[in-house]
Amino acid sequence: MNEQPIVFCKGGGCTAKLGPGALAHVLDKLPPFTDPNLLVGFDHSDDAAVYKLTDDIAMVQTLDFFPPMVEDPYIFGQIAAANALSDIYAMGGTVKTALNIVCFPEKMDLNILGRILQGGAEKVREAGGVLAGGHSIADSDVKYGLSVTGIIHPDKVLENNACCPDDVLILTKPLGVGIVCTADRVGQASEEAMAAAIASMTTLNKYAAEALAPFAPHACTDVTGFGLLGHLNEMLAGRCGALVHWKALPRIPEALDYADEFLLTAAAQRNRNHLEGKVEFQNIPFAAEELLFDPQTSGGLLVSLPADRADEALAAVQALGLGCGIIGRVTREHPGIICVTE
């Protein structure tokens, strides 16, 4: 009997995450942990945990790993590492150490694993961190990521749910990588679209975070598996509403065409279902809706900051050559509702 070949890329990245509804159902059953030094825990739905060590130093901890969404092991390692490191930047922190998380089939060529780890290590180095170790297990499929530790001043933590009415929303990377990677798996993505997706996914959010820090952002998160609308919903926390202009969204141009051809992910449908009753679309094309629900892998930062600093802040990010834009604003009206218009 012939053994089935091991497939490296079956479709992964942040599309492999549990849906937000399923995750909330599980987390709600965990007992609460109380500690005066735990500044941000899992009850916050935030990007990372933050624990105060001294009056001047808090530790930021996160981990992230997933299956490959591209065929090149080295590029996969870069993407997975950039995605894991991003949570530190979303909290306003600085990366210090990282540990590899590896699941790998015993019968697969170990040179593939070597290339994955090389890609990840180079992104940790670029982040200014130290790769200090890791853990591996034999598995039927490839998975890779990092556990990352950073530091931040306890008074400068950027939580994801501290936006204020009249804040402007800036997104620092283009949307559409989930749709483009889906199209690529069935041979429908152009070389240009896939190159744009890879360039976005391998770019560290370090640079955008550093550019935006001087403009006093109120809240920040990175857009990953729950899609732009899912993460914006967490940012609003039922206290504020939001107005989003879909034509202002930075995006990979071909993503809308692929969405019109129904090259979509199951994760996007889970995201849509979870936000039922929380999003109002005003004459929005179907493809644009899908772009807003599309799970992003190593997506950009979604930042809420004062309106009088928005243009200057956007210019600072644009100067880095990143696909970014002002996509809307936070509103006082209709708390917990996201209105999407042209």
pLDDT in tens, 45-91: 777 999 999 999 999 999 999 999 999 999 999 999 999 999 999 99
Chain region(s) in the chain for CATH 3.90.650.10: 168-341
Give the pair of three-digit tokens for residue 45: 């739905």
Place of tokens 């990010």: 317
Residue 166 has pLDDT above 50, yes or no: yes
pLDDT of residue 307: 97
C-alpha–C-alpha distance, residues 61 and 150, integer Å:
6
- State the average pLDDT over residues 203-217: 97
Query: Are 76 and 175 in contact, with CB atoms under 8 Å apart?
Result: no
Give the residue-averaged pLDDT of 176-180.
96
Yes or no: say if 337 and 256 are a contact pair by the CB < 8 Å rule. no
Catalytic residue among 14, 163, 220, 324: 14
Residue 33, pLDDT score: 82
Phi, psi of 338 (to 5 degrees): -105, 120
Total residues belonging to the chain: 342
**Does position 1 have pLDDT exceeding 50, yes or no?**
no
Q: How far apart are CA 123 and CA 126, in angstroms?
A: 5
Nearest Cα neighbor of 8 from 169, 125, 141 is 141
Q: Which CATH architecture has domain 13-156?
A: 2-Layer Sandwich (3.30)
195 Cβ contact partners less than 8 Å away, ≥ 6 residues apart? none
Say if CB 15 and CB 79 are below 8 A apart. no
Q: 33 or 49: whose pLDDT is higher?
A: 49
Per residue in 300-325, pLDDT (tens digit) is 999 999 999 999 999 999 999 999 99
Q: Are 169 and 281 in contact (CB under 8 A)?
A: no
Q: Has 14 been annotated as catalytic?
A: yes
Tokens of 27: 């987390």
Answer whether 335's CB lies under 8 Å from 313's CB.
no
CATH homologous superfamily for the domain 168-341: PurM-like C-terminal domain (3.90.650.10)
Distance, CA of 46 to CA of 29 (rounded, Å): 18
Does the pLDDT at position 2 exceed 70?
no
